[in-house]
Amino acid sequence: MISKPSLIAAAGLISLSASVMAVPTPYGNPGVANPVTYTFTAAGTGPIIAYFVGESAGYGSDIGLSINGAAPLSFGLQNHTGAGGTTSTPYGTAFNMGNANAGDVLRFELRVSTGNYNGPPPLTYTLNSDASLNPGGENHIYSSAYGGDFQIPAGTYVGFEDISPLGDPLNDLDYNDHQFVFVGVTGTPVGVPDGGMTLAMLGMAFAGLGWLRRKL
């Protein structure tokens, strides 16, 4: 259920209550591996911006963007911050992942550190939004369209499951260990699950109009 944001005026200032943010819809079948796999394509030309949504992880991690198969140029949005990783990165924190051209294939990499709560280094392993690049071809993400709120614009939501393999007894398969929403400068990039039937969803992005298509 999506609640309307609450605005509180005090001394001429307006603040947003974080407790009523319309956060993205989480994975709906925790405990069961997500059977839907995804590919992502840039809808416009310009920077791909990721906004941190949340985390529920005992491991440290950060994310990077591969464009057309190239190695990510940088990583950011650590899931934990502060001494000893005692707090989460603030909701809505932005990270410029790099510039893409319309039609470019986007792949997200999650770097995981099991030895550092704040994230790599040291690097333990890397997981991908492209399931074919993960050990055993396992799918480690869940993705959906997001309509936006006062801190995060409309875009594409991605949640990673950070424990590999998925069959590990410690794995809760909730796909919320590292969550973000990404958008493009001229539109919302496209997430396309593999399969047959297409569902088109129209959303208004922060800097323009974008489309997200999912094939179920």
Domain that holds residue 65: 24-215
Supply the pLDDT for residue 201: 31
Q: Is 65 contained in some domain?
A: yes
Asked if the structure places residue 83 within a domain, the reply is yes
Provide the pLDDT for residue 88: 85
Walking along the chain (216 residues) 10 residues at a time, the average pLDDT comes out as 29 31 83 92 92 93 96 94 75 95 94 90 95 95 92 94 93 95 64 39 32 36
User: 6 in a domain, yes or no?
Assistant: no
Overall size of the chain counted in residues: 216
Beta-bridge partners for 178: 160
pLDDT at res. 61:
95
Is residue 96 in some structural domain?
A: yes
Q: For position 129, what pLDDT does the model report? A: 96
Specify the number of domains making up the chain.
1
User: Are residues 91 and 53 in contact, defined by beta-carbon separation less than 8 angstroms?
Assistant: yes
In a domain, 8, yes or no: no
pLDDT the model gives residue 19: 35
pTM of the full predicted structure? 0.77
pLDDT of residue 161: 97
What pLDDT is attached to residue 158?
A: 96
Q: Is residue 4 part of a domain?
A: no
**pLDDT given at position 10:** 26
* Pair 22, 3: CB distance under 8 Å: yes
